[in-house]
Amino acid sequence: MTDQADIVAALDTVRDPELDEPVTSLGFVTSCTVSADGVADVRLRLPTYFCAPNFAWLMVADAYDAVSAVPGIRQTQIALEDHFASVEINHGVAARAGFVDSFDGLAVAELDTLRSDFVRKAVLAGTDRVCRPLLAAGYTVDGLAELTLGDAPPSADRRRLQERRAELGLPAELDSPLLVDAVTGEAVGPLALPLHLRRAQLTRVNIEANASVCRGMLQHRYRTHGQGEMEEVR
């Protein structure tokens, strides 16, 4: 029998596209329940009433897909609350309509390109997270150009980087170069390496700063006490 823990585990795979963090750890899941006959009900919230509707759409749609894929789930109900476009988003996702059709006359394209752009940023940020410990351990910048992913110690950051690279069709095997261009997948050579690492660091810092701001705004808006709080789950 499917239980609440199965739904939470599915939601753990749903990320804020801009922040590359699970909606669960960010505190975006207000509640999730599953009935005895397999009806899952999930309520989501965001830091502000005017969060970008395209970002919100991606999270709601991804949550719908993730929960619907849980064995034993017969029906999925995902509701974004307290958002200016919640009606369009909730109805569009439930109807399996696209972003353009759901925002008729306002949207001109689906969100595949936007999603890919965010994953590329996640690859850059992940590159910095994996490379910083190597530099601290004594590797030189030039030395990093010779390493493979497998040369980096096993960690959650390395696994996360592999997953993001795989999403873009970039080399993600352990014997592939540690440093690759997030667009072409080509190995980054020594001459381009310093600029590549600076971009990676700036991208990571920007993402982490945005995540901190979002957590603070969410806590202020809903008077929560910490990240990952789900009112009806605890």
Q: Where are the domains of the chain?
A: 4-109, 112-211
> Which of 43, 14, 22, 45 lies closest to 31 in space, CA to CA?
43
End-to-end CA distance of the chain: 20
Query: Per the structure block, which two tokens stand in for 3?
Result: 């239980």
Q: Crossing angle, helix 156-167 and helix 112-136, to 10 degrees?
A: 150
> Is the model's pLDDT at 214 over the cut of 50?
yes
Mean pLDDT over residues 59-69, rounded? 98
Percent of the chain with pLDDT over 90: 93
Q: Is the pLDDT of residue 234 over 90?
A: no
Instruction: Please give the model's pTM, rounded to 2 decimal places.
Output: 0.92
Q: Residue 153: what pLDDT?
A: 96
Contact (Cβ atoms closer than 8 angstroms) between residue 41 and residue 77: yes
Backbone angles phi, psi at 41, to 5 degrees: -125, 120
Query: Hey, what CATH topology would domain 4-109 get?
Result: GMP Synthetase; Chain A, domain 3 (3.30.300)
Using one digit for the tens of pLDDT, what is the confidence trace for 65-114?
Answer: 999 999 999 999 999 999 999 999 999 999 999 999 999 999 999 999 99
- Encode pLDDT of 124-181 as tens digits: 999 999 999 999 999 999 999 999 999 999 999 999 999 999 999 999 999 999 999 9
Look at the chain and count its residues: 234
pLDDT surpasses 80 at 226: no
Task: Quickly count: other Cβ atoms within 10 Å of residue 63's Cβ.
Answer: 27
Q: Let me know: does 66 contact 13? Beta carbons within 8 Å.
A: yes
CA distance 234 to 216: 21
Beta partners for 177? 148
The amino acid occupying position 127 is: T
Q: What is the mean pLDDT of residues 6-11?
A: 97
Q: What residue has token string 């999603």?
A: 115
pLDDT tens digits for range 21-39? 999 999 999 999 999 999 9
pLDDT surpasses 70 at 228: no
User: What tens digit of pLDDT does each residue of 179-208 get?
Assistant: 999 999 999 998 999 999 999 999 999 999
**Contact criterion met (CB below 8 Å) for 128 and 200:** yes
Task: Give the Cα separation of 177 and 122 in Å (integer).
Answer: 17
Which residues is 80 bridged to in the sheet?
A: 44
